[in-house]
């Protein structure tokens, strides 16, 4: 297996078959076997359970604070989280454990890097804090697509939006995203009130994008879709763009944060923009660029 050649801050980093239901899709993999068929996980909704409350005190003790503009975010320290998962792994956290044991941030069809907070997530958070007012989020329906830690969606929640979270891996949602959302509820709420909000105010979806839109066809479409570091695999960009097309409101926007090139994987922001233009569905607007060693950027998509 190969690894992403991402650069991340160390402080933010974080042979059993997964029990997750799979759907076989014949696609080329960017792995060692170019023609290998990948069994992508079937999309499904994941419901938070009260089991999360049993670990809430431990989460509180192992949380890191992050200030974005005037918004305080809290999230689990990745090092603690991954060690805890490896020590107490069960059938619901096999994918993260397999990734750690393989020393790989990407195992096609099994794990898609959701346990770490990548650079472009920070880029998009900072951009939102500078260019969006709280009023811009009021009564907005938001999707954090490929959410991982869920920080983009949590930021939107704390600004007043209603947010759904989607990640490829069920165990990422249960072991990382949901605990992080819990950590960011008001301290004045008791545990039961926090759990009630978690269960009623957001939806959590796991699995492949290819039938995510069908699964959520009765869910209100989104005013804003936020997504970071999801364009690395060229083979998955058609599914990603189709998700935007089917789940975005006619006057909605998509904000995509990514790197100009993902070494060893093939995708990149400029390549993705060219792909979007070729489909004649969305307009693209380059909102922000970094000229550091590894170039990064943020692009806005709107319906033509």
Average pLDDT over residues 298-302: 98
Per-residue pLDDT at 262? 87
Does the pTM of the predicted model rise above 0.85?
no
Residue 232 has pLDDT above 50, yes or no: yes
Q: How far is CA 59 from the centre of its chain?
A: 20
DSSP 38-98: EEEEPPEE----GGGGGGHHHHHHTEEEEEETTEEEEEE-HHHHHHHHHHS--GGGHHHHH
For residue 110, being part of any structural domain is answered with yes
For residue 86, being part of any structural domain is answered with yes
Residue 248 has pLDDT above 50, yes or no: yes
Average pLDDT over residues 167-172: 90
For residue 5, being part of any structural domain is answered with no
Q: Which residues contact residue 52 at a Cβ distance below 8 angstroms, ignoring those fewer than 6 apart?
A: 174, 178, 179, 182, 195, 198
Q: Comparing 95 with 173, which gets the higher pLDDT?
A: 173
Contact 304, 276 (CB under 8 A): no
For residue 88, being part of any structural domain is answered with yes
Under the banding of pLDDT at 50, 70 and 90, the label for residue 3 is: very low
For residue 3, being part of any structural domain is answered with no
Question: Which domain range does residue 44 map to?
Answer: 10-303
Under the banding of pLDDT at 50, 70 and 90, the label for residue 266 is: confident
The predicted-structure confidence for 85-125, as pLDDT tens digits, reads as follows 666 555 454 666 555 555 555 545 544 554 567 789 999 99
In the chain, the number of structural domains is 1
- Region for residue 264 given its phi and psi (left: phi exceeds 0; alpha: psi -120 to 50; beta: otherwise): left
Under the banding of pLDDT at 50, 70 and 90, the label for residue 6 is: very low
Which CATH number belongs to the domain containing residue 58 in this structure? 3.40.50.150
Per DSSP, 169 falls in state -
For residue 4, being part of any structural domain is answered with no
For residue 114, being part of any structural domain is answered with yes
Per-residue pLDDT at 209? 94
Burial readout 3-30 (b: 16 or more C-beta within 10 A, e: otherwise)? ebebebeeebbbeeebebebeeeebebb
Average pLDDT, the chain: 83
The predicted-structure confidence for 31-58, as pLDDT tens digits, reads as follows 444 456 777 789 999 999 999 999 899 8
Contact 71, 158 (CB under 8 A): yes
The predicted-structure confidence for 151-166, as pLDDT tens digits, reads as follows 999 999 999 999 999 9
Average pLDDT over residues 207-233: 94
Residue 297 has pLDDT above 50, yes or no: yes
Residue 225 backbone dihedrals phi, psi, to 5 degrees? -115, 125
Per DSSP, 281 falls in state S
The predicted-structure confidence for 267-291, as pLDDT tens digits, reads as follows 899 999 999 999 999 999 999 999 7
For residue 15, being part of any structural domain is answered with yes
Per-residue pLDDT at 10? 36
Contact 142, 40 (CB under 8 A): no
């Amino acid at each position: 297996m190969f690894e992403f050649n991402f650069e991340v801050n160390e402080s933010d980093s974080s042979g059993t078959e997964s029990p997750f239901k799979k759907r076989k899709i014949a696609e080329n993999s960017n792995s060692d076997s170019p023609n290998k068929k990948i069994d992508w996980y079937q999309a499904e909704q994941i419901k938070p359970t009260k089991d999360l409350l049993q670990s809430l005190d431990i989460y509180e003790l192992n949380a890191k604070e992050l200030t974005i503009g005037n918004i305080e975010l809290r999230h689990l320290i990745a090092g603690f989280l991954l060690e805890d998962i490896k020590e107490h792994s069960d059938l619901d956290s096999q994918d993260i454990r397999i990734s750690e044991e393989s020393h790989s941030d990407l195992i096609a069809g099994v794990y898609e890097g959701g346990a770490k907070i990548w650079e472009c997530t920070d880029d998009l958070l900072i951009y939102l804090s500078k260019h969006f007012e709280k009023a811009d989020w009021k009564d907005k329906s938001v999707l954090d697509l490929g959410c991982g830690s869920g920080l983009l969606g949590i930021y939107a929640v704390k600004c007043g939006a209603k947010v759904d979270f989607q990640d490829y891996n069920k165990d990422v949602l249960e072991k990382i995203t949901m605990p992080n959302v819990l950590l960011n509820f008001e301290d004045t709420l008791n545990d039961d009130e926090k759990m009630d909000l978690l269960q009623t105010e957001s939806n959590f979806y796991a699995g492949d994008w290819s039938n995510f839109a069908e699964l959520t066809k009765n869910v209100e479409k989104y005013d804003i879709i936020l997504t970071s570091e999801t364009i690395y695999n060229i083979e998955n960009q058609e599914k990603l763009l189709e998700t935007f097309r089917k789940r975005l409101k006619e006057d909605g926007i998509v904000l995509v944060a990514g790197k100009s090139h993902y070494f060893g994987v093939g995708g990149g922001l400029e390549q993705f923009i060219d792909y979007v233009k070729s489909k004649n569905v969305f307009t693209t607007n380059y909102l922000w660029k970094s000229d550091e060693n590894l170039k990064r950027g943020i692009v806005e998509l709107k319906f033509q």
